[in-house]
Amino acid sequence: MERKLRIGIIGTGGIAHAHMAAYKQFDDVEIVGGADIVPGKAKAFFEKWDLPNAQAFESAEELIKNVEMDGVTICTYNTTHAECAIMALEAGLHVQCEKPMSFTLQEAVDMVKAAKKANKILTIGFQPRYSYMRQKVDEIIRSGTIGKVYYIQSGGGRRRGIPGGTFIEGDKAGFGCLGDIGCYSIDECLHAVGYPKPLTVSAVATDYFGKNPKYWPEPEKFNVDDFSVAFIRLEGDITFVFKQAWAMHADSLGDTLWLGTEGGIKIINSFDYANKPSRVMLFTDVNGMQVDSYILPSHPFDAYSSPQKVDVFAAKVRDFCDAIKEGRPAPIPGEEIIYNQAIIDGIYRSAKLKREVEIEIPEF
Ligand SMILES: NC(=O)c1ccc[n+]([C@@H]2O[C@H](COP(=O)([O-])OP(=O)(O)OC[C@H]3O[C@@H](n4cnc5c(N)ncnc54)[C@H](O)[C@@H]3O)[C@@H](O)[C@H]2O)c1
């Protein structure tokens, strides 16, 4: 019988349950242990999941020292991603780390260096990459259909969506919406164009909702941002306008856009997209005529309009396992996500300093 892949979970809070639900679907994978710094939390987690043989610890170090594993999934809050990932990589384990990659850019660089040195997988948990429509949008942009992309704009955001828990505590999450859901926006916008290097950022971050008891019940606990905008220059003469909100008085910060010299792609983010044939539009010129088309998948998995139809979370966990088994490189490599983290780091610094900042990425 084939030996099962042995995986450990570091951090057994909210999202660890989604990881567990995904791993449970795979017969060739076994969750053999876990750790959480809150006493008893990892033990209770395995009791809930009815895994009496999984070993529970109160530090990642003890888990790594005592349990034979192929890899770990890191589900701690953002400020401890780097220390846990580096510890696991140095012990020769493959790592799947939740998004955002880290708190600071330097931490992300150190994580990649550790993965390279250990020659192990370091993959970052951006499950929307497994959406069929997202992959199609990436393909269309990369095919050159819209020409040279010179402007990208993120959109969307939440009207009332402050997540609470450790997400609003600066010492644990590091930042608020700019890194939490902002990292998804950055990944969606920039993966499609091959993650050009960011050069400068001018950003603003505010906390008008989290600090207001009218909109958030624990304003005294809230010490991160709930809204952020940034103007980012990317290598290759590309302008990237970033916007993100956990809360606002509007249904959306606008559409996601890629403008190219030969066409444009728009993802409709407002709520009225429900009345449109698709959320994705392509604008082109044909024989001197302006053509607007809705992109419709000739495939049942349309995660942009019906996310429930495809389990992108399970797909990301499966890909990590398969990459280990097949000796493949990281599916969502840390080397690429460093550019995502560099932008978040730049937004955070620029917003604090209230001026434009340069982005310098240390060698990795
Ligand atoms: N991919 C997704 O859809 C998704 C969704 C939610 C959260 N997340 C990400 O998952 C991460 C965790 O979010 P959450 O909601 O589960 O937070 P959480 O606070 O509920 O859980 C984090 C857990 O990690 C533990 N922890 C912290 N540092 C540790 C360490 N050094 N060693 C061991 N345990 C440690 C905490 O005690 C806590 O139990 C965040 O980075 C978040 O951005 C991803």
Same domain, 133 and 224: yes
CATH number at 116 reads: 3.40.50.720
**For ligand 1, is residue 40 a contact (CB within 6 Å)?**
no
For residue 86, being part of any structural domain is answered with: yes
38 in contact with ligand 1, CB cutoff 6 A: yes
Residue 304 has pLDDT above 70, yes or no: no
**Best probe residue, ligand 1, of 12, 48, 83, 98 (max atoms within 8 Å of C-beta):** 98
What mean pLDDT is predicted for residues 190-219? 98
Do 89 and 108 fall into the same domain?
yes
Q: Is the CB of 77 under 6 A from ligand 1?
A: yes
pLDDT at 300 over 70: no
Question: How confident is residue 131, by pLDDT bands cut at 50, 70 and 90?
Answer: confident
User: Which numbered atom of ligand 1 lies nearest the CA of 180?
Assistant: 43
* Within-domain flag for 31: yes
In-domain check, residue 364: no
pLDDT-wise least confident of 19-33, 127-141, 182-196: 127-141
CATH number at residue 236: 3.30.360.10
Q: Does the pLDDT of residue 101 top 80, yes or no?
A: yes
Instruction: Give the tens place of pLDDT for each residue, 266-279.
Output: 999 988 887 888 88
Q: Cα–Cα distance between 87 and 81 in angstroms, integer?
A: 10
Regarding whether 71 and 143 lie in a shared domain, the answer is no
| Centroid of ligand 1 to alpha carbon of 293 (angstroms) | 41
Q: Is 316 in the pocket of ligand 1 (CB under 6 A)?
A: no
Tell me the C-alpha distance between 346 and 332, whole Å. 21
Q: Is 99 in the pocket of ligand 1 (CB under 6 A)?
A: yes
Ligand 1 centre to CA of 36 (Å) is 10
CA dihedral (91, 92, 96, 97) positive or negative: positive
Give percent of the chain with pLDDT exceeding 70.
96
Q: Is the CB of 291 under 6 A from ligand 1?
A: no
pLDDT at 350: 98
Measured in angstroms, how far is the CA atom of residue 98 from the centroid of ligand 1? 8
Distance 77 CA to ligand 1 centre (A): 4
Segment 102-119 mean pLDDT: 98
> Residue 1 above 90 pLDDT?
no
Q: Are residues 90 and 206 in the same domain?
A: no
Compute, in angstroms, the gap from residue 354 CA to the centroid of ligand 1.
30
State whether 19 and 79 are in the same domain: yes
CA angle 79/95/28 to nearest 5° reads 135
Of 7, 41, 12, the C-alpha closest to 24 is 7
Specify whether the CB–CB gap between 45 and 23 falls below 8 A: no
Rounded average pLDDT over 81-90: 98
Residue 86 belongs to domain spanning: 5-127+313-332
Label residues 40-64 b or e (16+ Cβ within 10 Å = b). Answer: ebbbebbeebebeebbbbbebeebb
Query: Among 46, 67, 75, 337, which is best to mutate for testing ligand 1, by the most ligand atoms less than 8 A from CB?
Result: 75
Give the sheet arrangement for strand 94-97, strand by strand.
55-57, 29-35, 5-10, 71-74, 94-97, 122-124
Q: How confident is the model over 147-189, as pLDDT tens digits?
A: 999 999 999 999 999 999 999 999 999 999 999 999 999 999 9
- Paired with 32 in beta bridges are none
Per-residue pLDDT reduced to its tens digit, 348-359: 999 999 999 999
Q: Which amino acid is at 122?
A: L
Q: Are residues 181 and 262 in the same domain?
A: yes
Span 235-268, pLDDT tens digits:
999 999 999 999 999 999 999 999 999 999 999 9
Segment 305-337, tens digit of pLDDT: 544 466 899 999 999 999 999 999 999 999 999
pLDDT of residue 294: 92
In a domain, residue 327? The reply is yes
225 shares its domain with 246: yes
pLDDT of residue 309: 62
- 363 occurs within a structural domain: no
Kindly state whether residue 170 falls inside one of the protein's structural domains. Answer: yes
Ligand 1 atom with minimal separation from the 79 CA: 28
105 occurs within a structural domain: yes
**Separation of CA 107 and ligand 1 centre (Å):** 17
Q: Are residues 90 and 163 in the same domain?
A: no
Residue 38 included in any domain: yes
Do 154 and 19 lie in a common domain? no
Q: Is the dihedral of CA 88, 92, 93, 99 positive or negative?
A: positive
Residues 320 and 271 in one domain: no
Does 17 sit in the ligand 1 pocket, CB within 6 Å? Answer: no
User: What is the residue-averaged pLDDT of the chain?
Assistant: 95
Q: Please check whether residues 79 and 152 belong to one and the same domain.
A: no
Total of domains in the chain? 2
Q: Quick check: 339 pLDDT over 50?
A: yes
- Is 60 exceeded by the pLDDT of residue 299? no
User: Of all residues in the chain, what percent carry a pLDDT higher than 90?
Assistant: 90
Residues 49-68: tens digit of each pLDDT: 999 999 999 999 999 999 99
- 110/134 same-domain check: no
